Amino acid sequence: MDLSGKVAIITGVSKGIGRSTAEALLAKGAIVAGWGRTAPEGLEHERFQFFECDVRNEIAVQEAYTNTQRELGPEIQILVNNAGIGHFGPVDGFSSDDWHEMFDTNVHGVFYCTKAVLPQMKKQHLGHIINVASLAGTAGTANLAGYCATKYAIRGFSDALFKEVRPDGVRVTCVMPGSVETNFNGAEPGQEPDPHKMQPEDIAAAIVHALEAPQTVMISELQMRPTQPK
């Protein structure tokens, strides 16, 4: 798909992979609706508009979608479900509130946003939904049981969804990165890029690659790993 002039919704746009994806799509000529609880600092562009949205709240998602269509027009070609959080720790010492917050953001939020855009994408017979999961959706890790469970859920959701909507001309890609240097889990990226981790812009480039594939091609899953991890 030629991205020039296409409207893309990106959730979790304030930093990390979401922000890098917004910048990458803007560079390709797309119009970007950034959804998030906080606006990305310093991201000012004539084709970028921020819409406050907590994806954990279905009514907030519906309002953000209505506002996006009012401001940018009815046609939405791209949704990047990127918003996500991770709380780590042993299952028997884990806060139930943290567990629920992860599922509300990482799983239910993806459902709410997807449900919002699908009718228009089906009507257009054109659309692409990118779900940002994780390699944690392919293998379990001690002390990451809850996070892994949410990402396994997104992988399963994506696999079922692409089979459901492909007759309507809608493509679905599940992107599963390994270690990425972001603010994830409260960590601050270093001054110099960590050579043992991928950078957010690397994931954004993979998302652009999937979006730009010919309309006859659907990249259903993308697994990404650092070449030389620690």
In a domain, 1, yes or no: no
Is 11 a domain residue? yes
48 assigned to some structural domain:
yes
State which residues form the domain around 170: 7-224
CA–CA separation, 165 vs 172, rounded Å?
Answer: 8
pLDDT tens-digit map of 154-194: 999 999 999 999 999 999 999 999 988 766 655 555 567 78
Query: Does residue 56 fall inside a structural domain?
Result: yes
DSSP code, position 62: H
Give CA–CA dist 195/112, Å, rounded. Answer: 36
**Residues 170/180/21/212 CA torsion (nearest 10 deg):** -50
Helix (H, G, I), strand (E, B) or coil at 73: coil
Six token digits for residue 195: 């050579």
Instruction: Give the model confidence (pLDDT) of 124-159 as tens digits.
Output: 999 999 999 999 999 999 999 999 999 999 999 999
Q: What is the mean pLDDT of the chain?
A: 94
Does the residue 55 lie in any domain? yes
Q: Is 16 exposed, middle or buried (0-12, 13-18, 19+ CB in 10 A)?
A: buried
Whole-model pTM: value is: 0.95
Active site residues: 147
Number of domains in the chain: 1
Q: Encode pLDDT of 65-76 as tens digits.
A: 999 999 999 999
CATH of the domain at 36: 3.40.50.720
Residue 88 is encoded by which pair of tokens?
Answer: 């780590």
